[in-house]
Amino acid sequence: MNARSPLRFLANFLLVGLTAVFAARGHAEHKPSHVFLDVGRPAPDFTLPDLDGTTRKLSDYRGKVVLLNFWSTWCTPCRTEMPSMQRSFERHKGNGLEILAVSLNVEGKPPVEQFMKELKLTFKALLDPKKEVATIYRIYALPTSYVIDKQGKIAFKLIGEKDWDDPHSHELIQGLLTK
């Protein structure tokens, strides 16, 4: 065996290792900054189209309580909770509640429009087929809801189906509306 073989092996090993470290470091520098989604922190702003094609921005709803719900038409628990969301919306909309239902359907508008009509839902449905906003909000299960207070801060987060018409939900929303 040649005396230079161990040195050559070590040099190649270091070269590959350093290349990997610098490549990973360069890649990490291009990632978006870390977004904290803790209760009490500002909700990340976003812009998405609604079913009419109007661009909606979360920050435009500052001064209102926003129920931000991530869902999809194929999601059975989403379908189950939507009627209670509608009843809660009807109960509280005059006091400043807005519901922004962010659809993650990759097919876009047609199935969402049909779903909203079928269930007679009158709150705003927004379209996020590329899941860009869902990624910012770290959505990994449907439905997932954030309740955002009048100052634009996250009041609470809920993963899974919720009865938005129950006394506890009513109390929670009413409490935020009167602050």
Angle between helices 167-177 and 76-92 (to 10 degrees): 50
pLDDT score recorded for residue 24: 39
pLDDT score recorded for residue 34: 45
| Tokens coding 73 | 């038409």
pLDDT score recorded for residue 25: 38
**CA proximity to 57, closest of 142, 133, 135:** 133
Who contacts 157 (Cβ-Cβ below 8 Å, separation ≥6)?
A: 37, 39, 144, 145, 146, 147
Q: How many Å apart are CA 41 and CA 24, to the nearest integer?
A: 30
**89 confidence band (pLDDT: 50, 70, 90):** very high
pLDDT score recorded for residue 38: 84
The per-residue DSSP string of 19-79 comes to HHHHHHHHHHHTSPPP----TTSBPPP-EEEBTTS-EEEGGGGTTSEEEEEEE-TT-HHHH
Task: Check pLDDT > 90 for residue 22.
Answer: no
pLDDT score recorded for residue 37: 72
Task: Check pLDDT > 90 for residue 23.
Answer: no
Cβ of 139: how many Cβ atoms within 10 Å?
19
Q: How many Å apart are CA 137 and CA 131, to the nearest integer?
A: 10
pLDDT score recorded for residue 7: 59
Ranges 1-10, 16-25, 76-85: which has the least confidence: 16-25
pTM for the structure as a whole: 0.80
pLDDT in tens, 111-163: 999 999 999 999 999 999 999 999 999 999 999 999 999 999 999 999 999 99
Give the residue extent of every domain in the chain.
1-31, 47-177
Who contacts 46 (Cβ-Cβ below 8 Å, separation ≥6)?
A: 57, 58, 132, 133, 136
- Residue range 47-177 forms a domain whose CATH class is alpha beta
pLDDT in tens, 37-81: 788 999 999 999 999 999 999 999 999 999 999 999 999 999 999
